Amino acid sequence: MHRTSLALRFVVPAVWLGLIIGISFLEAPLKFQAPGITIELGLGIGRLVFFAMNITALVLAVLLTVAMIRPRASKLQWRLLLALWVVLLTEVLLIRPPLNARTDALLAGQDTAGSLWHYLYIAADGTLFVLLIIFVVVTARKLFPAAAHGAQPADPVAVEAVDARIV
């Protein structure tokens, strides 16, 4: 369990980071540029995709939280995890409902003005992105301490000599 937890502390935030890159930074802006995608269709697809992404992010956050228990994580990792939870719950509970209401209004044919909520969601995803990068780097430094302290790679001649003896 010890090794699994340590591995999950690295892999889970990396997967979550990939989810944000793939959905928020690539799919969301590009879908409206595809031929034949209307605003209504794009909004409907976006609502489904972001709902699924939020559910997946919540599952990943729970998994990461469980992985932090044993062996005990550093205070910095716990602070980063708390910040991730705060931003994620802000997205899901405070930002998404007004975005969904605006989507409903647009799909019902109402003409609505631009929305600050989209910019808040983008800012929240950008914050998650930065926090996840920091979390991955902090975890990598704990997993690979020699690389974090500038250790030099092994002498290639010595490695070659050891390899020759093994063969």
How much is the pTM?
A: 0.83
Per DSSP (E only), the strands in the chain are none
Where do we find the tokens 């992404």?
53
Per-residue confidence (pLDDT) for residue 70, from 0 to 100: 86
Q: Are 8 and 70 in contact (CB under 8 A)?
A: no
Rounded CA gap, 117 and 122, in Å?
9
> CA quadruple 35, 41, 45, 51: dihedral positive or negative?
positive
Rounded CA gap, 39 and 29, in Å?
12
Per-residue confidence (pLDDT) for residue 51, from 0 to 100: 95
Rounded CA gap, 17 and 19, in Å?
5
Entry field: residues in the chain = 167
* Residue-wise pLDDT tens digits, 88-146: 999 999 999 999 998 888 888 887 777 899 999 999 999 999 999 999 999 999 888 86
> CA quadruple 19, 25, 30, 31: dihedral positive or negative?
positive
Would the pLDDT of 167 be above 90? no
